Structure 1
Amino acid sequence: MFERARTKEQITKRSEEIINACDTLFSQGGYDAVHFKAISELTTFTRSTIYKYYQTKDEVLLDLLQREMLLWQDEFVALTKTSSPLPKEQYCKCMVNSMVFHDKMLRLASLLWLFLEKNSRVEKIAAFKKIMYQIYAALAESLDYHFPDASREEKAPLPNAIFAYVLGLHPMTYLTEKQIAAVEMAGQAYTPPEFQTLCYQGVYLLLGNL
């Protein structure tokens, strides 16, 4: 028999179950595969119960993106937690390799401004932004450690610039079959650019003055 969640722990557990179902659906079929009916079929909740936690599927996806970004942060911090600063080339490789491993984060992030924030309540967006700023701060701390001779003015814009570049690049390197067909119909041969290579080149250039 279904019981209403009353404690903070119960509410968190219910939310995590919804997010886990969303994760499965998004991994299998992308954005269009995620909807409350499908989530209810993978959980113990009815659609009406899900609405008590989330008003839209985009709010669930926003929480999933938050979870994926925190996982990336933990891995990146672990990779770059060295006894002495890394050379710039190695630092960039660590960053890019960790991002490639977290492809789901990148695919979700490509939807952030177009769908997820647009269709979420302001308090949900604010909670996500708080985590995002935490991640920026962790990246800034990492840059301070590995590039101690660079000025604060040189390093301050980099967390935002790195994410803007990477998140803008990722959708360009993973076109759908329809997009590829459209390019070919326009009379152009298309070879998808390789994300990892372009990501490394771009991040290295952004860190060029450090």
Structure 2
Amino acid sequence: MTRGSSQRIEQRRNEIIDACEALYQTKGFREVTIKDISQETSFSRPSIYNYFETKEEIFLALLTREYDGWTQKLQQVSRQKGPWERERFAQALAHTLDGQEIMLKIQTMNLYEIEENSRRECLVSFKRSFYQAMCAFDDCLGTYLPQMEEQTRQEIRFAFFPFLYGLYAYAHPTQKQLDVMEEVGIPSAQMTIEELAGHCILRLLPEKRGGK
């Protein structure tokens, strides 16, 4: 495969992913179809199947791209020189989730179904990106506290990453959910994604010995 053809394939894949992302801004996962996506691109529905076998694979590619973007933000934090004050570090990590609503929404609402209906190679590609984000998160922890033990990093990681899977739903409840919560007396969080993430991170981070 020539460099030019590889670039064309990548451009077309990105055009499909961009169309999927745009539709997901206004439609639910189940409402978005391959036909809808094709109508937002410059080529036909059958042509999409040259790049993705299912709608779920397109969403998985979108999620992969979102994780790659988050990894870059985490790497920017890890490159900053310390020492970090605990609250400021928690805010910096939480701030990396700004603009990552699509990532959080997909994995909160639809990830299980998407993974089940995607080919193994697509899932492997996503898991690699997920793992890179995890490693970048670990690097950030090392920047905050270089002597942090691996066991402590693992405990923070295994608490924070599962937390991310429910973060979007807490920050963006539907009006129906809010009405029912009010009816039964359940207080709503009324916090942004960044606020919720910062709150969680701050409580997971160990205190530095000898002060902040």
- Normalising by structure 2, we get a TM-score of 0.84
The separation in 2 between residues aligned to 1:187 and 1:142, in whole angstroms, is 40
- What is the 5 A alignment of 1:145-160? 145-160=143-158
Which runs of 5 or more structure 2 residues have no equivalent in the other structure?
none
119-128 vs 171-180, which moves further: 171-180
Partner of 2:90: 92
The counterpart of 1:193, out of the listed 190, 193, 207, is 190
Partner of 1:137: 135
- What is the 5 A alignment of 1:6-155? 7-155=5-153
Change (3 A) 1:187 1:151: closer
Q: Deviations over 1:172-209 (max 9, x none)?
A: 3322233334445x543653431433322211122236
27-36 vs 117-126, which moves further: 27-36
Give the C-alpha shift of residue 80 in structure 1: 4.2
> Which letter maps to 2:137?
L
Change (3 A) 1:41 1:168: same
Contact kept, 8 Å, 2:73 with 2:96, in 1: the verdict is yes
> Which letter maps to 1:11?
I
Contact kept, 8 Å, 1:35 with 1:57, in 2: the verdict is yes
> Which letter maps to 1:10?
R
The separation in 1 between residues aligned to 2:124 and 2:51, in whole angstroms, is 16
The separation in 1 between residues aligned to 2:7 and 2:186, in whole angstroms, is 54
Which runs of 5 or more structure 1 residues have no equivalent in the other structure?
1-5
> Which letter maps to 1:64?
L
Secondary structure of 1:22's match? helix
The separation in 2 between residues aligned to 1:77 and 1:112, in whole angstroms, is 27
Contact kept, 8 Å, 1:40 with 1:47, in 2: the verdict is yes
Partner of 1:163: 161
> Which letter maps to 2:178?
I
For this pair of structures, how many residues does the alignment match?
Answer: 204
193-202 vs 50-59, which moves further: 193-202
Identity %: 27
Q: Deviations over 1:155-180 (max 9, x none)?
A: 13433431211222321332223333
Relative contact order, higher structure (CA 8 A, sep 6+): 2
CA RMSD of aligned residues (A): 2.3
